[in-house]
Structure 1
Amino acid sequence: MSDDTGTHLYTPQVVEQKKPNVKQEFQTIEEAFQFYNAYARECGFSARMSTSKRKKGTNELIWKQFVCFKEGETNEHYQKKEKHTVQRSGERNRGLVRVGCKAKMTVVKSQTGPNWIVSQFVEEHNHALASPSKIHLLRSHRVVSAAKRGLSQQLSEANIPMCQQIRVLEIEAGGPQNIGCVEKDIRTYGQRVRDEQKDNDAELLIEFFSSEEEKNPTFYFKYELDEESRLVRCFWADPFARRSYHFFGDVVVFDTTYNTNKYDMIFAPLARVNHHGQTVIFGCALLSGETTESFIWLFNQLLDAMPRGAPQVIITDQDPAMTKAIAQVLPSTCHRYCIWHILNKFAEKINTMVYRDNYHWFKNIICNSETIEEFETSWAELLKNSNLGDNTWLRQMYEIRNKWVPVYFNHIFNAGMLSSQRAENSHAFFKRYISNKNSLMDFIVRFNRTINHQRHDELVADHIDVNEQPKLKTMCPMETQMVKIYTKRNFIIFQGELFESSAYFLSCTFEDDESMFYSVRKASRSCSSRNRQLKYNKLSDSVSCSCRLFNFNGIPCRHILAYFRIKQVMFLPSEYILRRWTKSAKIGEVWDNNGQEMKDHDDMSLVTRHASLSRACSNLIDDASLTVEGTKFILNEIELLRGKIKKMNGDGMTMPETTSKRSTKELPSINNPSHVRSKGCGKRFKNPKEMLVSKSRLCRECGLRGQQHNKRNCPRLQERSTMNDQDINSNSASEDDDLTSHAGSNLHGAKRS
């Protein structure tokens, strides 16, 4: 047997061993085809199933034929069409494969038993056979194994494109010819899986959540359907998130994002800040609309799921539906708007020239006012001086000032957050893994991957706190005390305040029976520093500062630390140590409303068992693969172990964990959600003022920006040049008059002479 070059490639002894024989028996049709396909691989051709016959009456299969992939002829009508038709753009240009090859193997059902008997075998081919280097390209020898399917799915979850997945498989297999399939096969498999999920995507999602609930009763999820049984909203929170909310759920950042799934359902994560200052998601929802009804449902689920109840502070954007829902469901929660979004709107809402001259004054008044009276007086004065008293947007912002100006809420703990940018940063993080092409199940799988990444970062920070200690800057006992209590991030903030406190001094300004008031000033006054006011309460033995940093951030400010230094308080009192910023913030048991303890993970869960076995096997493979003998030994032992495990599971000694005890029949019929058109969808067009700022050039003459305004056509420069031209013309006219008069006098003199 030879290939297309005529050289002998296949060992006759091997081919003879694989060759089918007439009257050879097989137990099943599949076994017969596998045998013929293995023979085809040795020879260098691809096999496929061909015609079959069934018994009349019973429709029982009694005859089957396997042929070479070049068997038969291409349809004559198709050939004529190809000869006389010009190929259109984008039309597939498929070559002709079938050349009437007669090689085949026929099997018939045995009349005395269930076996199949080879009744005919034709060996000869009328075409060249493939060489061993091209066998992996033949269709019947390309198989996407279960291992490759699993690996491809894992790589897809990490957003690795298909072309790079093939490179990984090539490295793993030792070359593209050893993969066992081509890129097209893996793409086809992925498309087939997506097609299977197309009609029952929402049902698979609810099945997955039901499975998680069965594995761990403290997993929480709820969903709602509309009149057409379409999924309209869904909320979920795992035990780790619910337990974490108990410790860090005092301040919540809530923001919606889009383009996370192919239905454009709104992804609404609830974020918080842990004791390392990291943004972590503790609850999520998928909504089919940004309506008040949807947000009311979501916040009610938050109250039902989380063990500590309503948050103390929630930060959102200026969405009216969101604002109305929070006022109704969370009346005791301090609702704040993101100050960053509002400050960015100043450039859009006021005149460009006025914005340039007054924005820094607006920002200073908003961010640095210490009292409400100071803010309101300075605001009114600035509006008067800038002639912005009639600006509608500024008037509206002033009416809701208690929701975004810090002086109105900095007496409440806000974990140091003024904006919702932490939530937006988490959106950017999610978009590394999630796209608007994902199905709901793809979204959940990738979302879980990102959550695990976030939680691993928290684990790394915990590890650093246990094994590393920041360097000390002073010999102060308070610094030595707090380096053991605070996490690294919070200690560095505290250390900076403690170091700066040495530059401040106090002077008593007033004293009565209950309080003492101090003025705190910096030793070297700068134009940016201002005196702060400290109040010492004699009854409660506590001190507070007018900067309110401790109330807002939870870490003592430099002014309070200066007071402790002067009063020789060596160690920070416990009332100034907020537990949520300490290393022991997460220590303690947490119970849900049903009396069940919430743990980070179930010790006996399938995931935990799988992880422990994976680590053990990985170490074993690393050692065994160093030698050929070790590899063979491990392979033999693995086969023996697999047989024992299958027998163990089959005998019912250890019941395998099912994905869900509730079958799809017990769940209501759930249709996929309809596509959502969100408030933030569509292309955003810039207003003229934004275009003016973004596209205009800077004039080096007057320092302003303007559309079609630069040094060449600056009005100020043109005005100056016009004035210069007038001066030049007037000077030229006077010079001409002098010349004329001088010339006239000469002329008259000449005449006289």
Structure 2
Amino acid sequence: MPVTRTRCKARVVVIATNTNDQWVISKSYQEHNHALCTPAMTQFMCSNRAAIKADIDEATTLKEVGVGTSQVMNYLTQQAGGYHNVGFTHKDLYNALQRGKSKEIVDGDVNALIAYFDYKKHDDPEFFMTYSVDKSGALYNLIWSDSTSRSNYTCFGDVITFDTTYKNNLYGQPIMPIVGVNHHHNTIVFATAIIVDETSQSFEWVLQNFLEAMMNKSPISVVTDGDRQHSQNAWLLGGQPRNLIFNGVRLFHNSTSKSIHGCESMNASLAIALKRKKTYLDVVRAIEDGISRMRMNELKVDYLSSHTKPFQITKLFYLESYAAEIFTCESFRAFQDELLRETLYQIEAEIQSLSDECYILSKYKEKKRKFEISFDSRTKTLICSCKIFETVGLPCRHQLHILKHLDYTYLPGTLIQSRWTNDAKASAPSYVDLNVSPEVMQMTRFAALCSTSSRLCYIASKTDESFKTARDEIKRLIEELENSFGLNDSVNQSIVVNNVHGPQRKQRKRKEVPKNKVEKIIRRCGYCNGEGHNKIACPQGKLSLSIMGESVPPMGESVPSEHSGNLGVKPFRGNRYPLWKGVGSL
């Protein structure tokens, strides 16, 4: 560290008089024992550097959305009109952000996270969170789910999947998102867990508490990634789910594969958001940001499904129009694909009984492939031997061919699963809380004022007179608001409700040195082939350079390198001699 204290005696002493409350200079020492700063360097003095609260709040907001500290500094510099107008350096901004982050977890990382969840539960009464600790009181396992996720599970909880592939936090613990597929065939998150390890005890704890959060409603199917440990623990959900499918085979067809890929893509997005090792609070906020983006995309697709109409590409106008009204856009595309392919089939045999009719279908140019469809005229139930409807949830091409044969202009209710319709969430309990937290409202007002003040600053900067007027009015308004609200900003301190501490942080792996270490290869000089130096520091090379400085060498011989400071030699292969600078000084 450089020495900054020189015991300079220069100072000015000011005292107050007894009359009229005036201040007078009593002593003045003007002699300095060091060089004075130029006006351009005064911005680096500690007394002139201070990051104001408004800049810190704006930088914190930018950091929360993934903007790096260097980019934040560049933005504030551009906004202030140059580095000399910012009022602080890059290091000052970094320290201010770190102080704010340390203040959040002043009572410990885990206690700050529990306080954060308690605050969310105050705003969201249906928010679910539970955790377990080990014998030493350290956090062991954790799972949480908000009201929207719990509501989505009542509609789309028939199939779930989970994966644990991401460990980028300070404690090296796996993150386990439990996800599913909504009526738009997109991934939705039901719950998220942070577990201490990937053992059967941890999975059992998570899945049992997951069922408790979802009112003990067991899923119909559990999709895993083929991992044996995941597969064994999938049976814990309600005893034995009806279908346990590995690698997404034949379960909701493309939907489950999207679910698995969505689980892995969520981990990939976390990898981008958490480039460095983060605390529990950082991990939870990054997960919540990803879930918020998923829900915004779902809301956008809801709008498109309810306010747009897809194109019809078949001649079965009434049947296609009926399906377009009830299914979502993505589900209708899958239905339309089946409707296009029903023309490839024909009825080979028809067997009638009292109430049932049985049809045998064969495919065009594939007569050996037979499909049997039974139709109950009383209940209007169609059962196909391909079992696509039972797995995908949408009518298959064979069922649609029979409906065309029977002149149906609509889909029977037995062929419509509500989870793929526009009204899939109509019967779901609504836990939407219209009360917005004060922090969110403050940031909203802050963004609105920034937009307005930016326009004001742009207009006022056009002339010197308007600039002075706007500056004086802004100063007056700042003083007025500071006097009315006070200078002490209220800081929300985390309330310690549980004496829980974080587990031991994961140590960085050190490179192991082998016992039988290979002997280091001795590097030799490229000029004289000697040991202990290279050709830049070669004494023979320096000697030859000094000789060459006195006389220009003939064509083809070695000359000093043209690079500044490089004392090496290289052959000269030009038609003209280079320009020499300071060769004789070598």
Q: TM-score, normalised by structure 2?
A: 0.75
Residue in structure 2 matched with residue 731 of structure 1 by the alignment? none
1:534 aligns with 2:441: no
Q: 1:668 aligns with which of 490, 498, 502?
A: 498
Are the counterparts in 1 of residues 170 and 506 from structure 2 also a CA contact under 8 Å? Answer: no
Equivalence for 2:185 = 277
Task: Tell me, yes or no, if the aligned pair for 1:253 and 1:420 is still in contact at 8 Å.
Answer: yes
Q: Aligned residue for 1:518?
A: 359
Instruction: Return the offset for 1:505.
Output: 2.0
Native 8 Å contact 2:362 2:370 kept in 1: yes
1:423 corresponds in structure 2 to 263
- Could you say which residue in structure 1 is the equivalent of 2:516? none
Task: Measure how far apart 1:424 and its partner are.
Answer: 1.4
SS of equivalent residue, structure 1 residue 276: coil
Superposition pairs of residues 437-452 of structure 1, within 5 angstroms: 437-452=277-292
Question: Which structure shows the higher helix fraction?
Answer: 1
One-letter amino acid of the structure 1 residue matched with residue 399 of structure 2 = I
Q: Which residue pairs with 1:200 in the alignment?
A: 108
Quick one: distance in 2 between partners of 1:620 and 1:565?
Answer: 61
Q: Which residue, out of 598, 622, 638, partners 2:431? A: 598
SS in 2 for 1:133: coil
**1:133 and 2:18 are equivalent in the alignment:** no
**TM-superposed deviation, 1:288:** 0.7
Query: What residue in structure 2 maps to residue 573 of structure 1?
Result: 412
Question: Aligned partners of 2:396, 2:47: CA distance in 1, in Å?
Answer: 73
Aligned to 1:609: 441
One-letter code of the match for 1:257?
T
SS at match of 1:165: helix
1:229 CA drift (Å): 0.8
Residue 335 (structure 2) aligns with: 494
Larger Rg over CA atoms: 1
1: distance between equivalents of 2:369 and 2:188?
Answer: 36
For residues 224-239 of structure 1, the aligned pairs below 5 Å read 224-239=132-147
SS class of match (2:57): helix
Distance in 1, Cα, partners of 2:58 & 2:415: 51
Report SS of the residue matched to 1:203.
helix
Alignment gaps of 5+ in structure 1:
1-93, 341-404, 591-596, 651-655, 684-753
Q: Deviations over 1:705-740 (max 9, x none)?
A: xxxxxxxxxxxxxxxxxxxxxxxxxxxxxxxxxxxx
Count of residues in correspondence between the two structures? 499
Conserved? CA contact 1:549–1:557, under 8 Å = yes
Amino acid at match of 2:36: L
> For 1:506, what is the secondary structure of its paired residue?
strand
Shift of 1:143: 1.8
SS of structure 2 residue aligned to 1:484: helix
d(CA) in 1 for partners of 2:108 and 2:332?
A: 51
User: 1:430 Cα deviation (Å)?
Assistant: 2.1
- Mapped to 2, the partners of 1:436 and 1:296 lie a distance apart of 30
* 1:465 and 2:305 correspond: yes
Deviation at 1:511, TM superposition (A): 3.8
8 Å contact kept, 1:249–1:308: no
- 8 Å CA contact retained: 1:310, 1:333: yes
Q: Is the 8 A contact 1:555 1:576 kept in 2?
A: yes
* More displaced 10-residue stretch of structure 1: 203-212 or 131-140: 131-140
1:556 matches 2:464:
no
**Aligned partner of 1:149: which letter?**
I
Match of 1:543 in 2: 382
Cα distance, 1:139–1:194 mapped onto 2, change above 3 Å: same
CA displacement at 1:253 relative to structure 2 = 1.0
Distance 1:105 1:586, change over 3 A: farther
**Per-residue deviation, 1:570:** 0.8
Deviation at 1:437, TM superposition (A): 0.7
Structure 1 letter corresponding to 2:438: L
1:568 CA displacement: 0.8
Q: Letter of the 1:449 partner, please give it.
A: D
1:255 aligned onto 2:198: no
Q: What one-letter code is carried by the residue in structure 2 that aligns with 1:178?
A: N
Q: 1:167 aligns with which of 38, 58, 74?
A: 74
Match of 2:583 in 1: none
How far residue 190 of structure 1 moved from its aligned partner, in angstroms, is 4.3
- Residue of structure 1 in register with 2:151 after alignment: 243
C-alpha distance after superposition, 1:8-38 (max 9, x if no partner): xxxxxxxxxxxxxxxxxxxxxxxxxxxxxxx
Question: Which residue of structure 1 lines up, in the alignment, with residue 582 of structure 2?
Answer: none
Deviations 1:59-92 (A, max 9, x none): xxxxxxxxxxxxxxxxxxxxxxxxxxxxxxxxxx
Kindly state the Cα deviation for residue 151 of structure 1 after the two structures are TM-superposed.
Answer: 3.3
Matches within 5 A, 1:14-53: none
The aligned counterpart of 2:58 is 151
C-alpha distance after superposition, 1:350-400 (max 9, x if no partner): xxxxxxxxxxxxxxxxxxxxxxxxxxxxxxxxxxxxxxxxxxxxxxxxxxx
Answer yes or no: is the 8 Å Cα contact 2:132–2:140 preserved in 1.
yes
Please state whether the residue corresponding to 1:627 is helix, strand or coil.
Answer: helix
Cα displacement (A) at 1:244? 1.7
Of residues 324-333 and 166-175 in structure 1, the stretch that sits farther from structure 2 once superposed is 324-333
The unaligned stretches of length 5 or more in structure 2 are 461-465, 512-586
CA deviation after TM superposition for structure 1 residue 423, in Å: 1.4
2:15 is the alignment partner of 1:183: no
Q: Does structure 2 conserve the Cα–Cα contact (< 8 Å) formed by 1:317 and 1:337?
A: no
Deviation at 1:135, TM superposition (A): 2.5
Percent of paired sites with the same residue: 25
Alignment partner, residue 564 of structure 2:
none
2:538: which partner in 1?
none
Deviation at 1:261, TM superposition (A): 0.8
Match of 2:348 in 1: 507
What is the CA-CA distance between 1:614 and the residue it aligns to?
Answer: 4.8
Q: Given residue 328 of structure 2, which amino acid in structure 1 is its aligned partner?
A: T
Task: Please name the residue that 1:582 is paired with.
Answer: 421
| 8 Å contact from structure 2 (residues 226, 247) kept in 1 | no
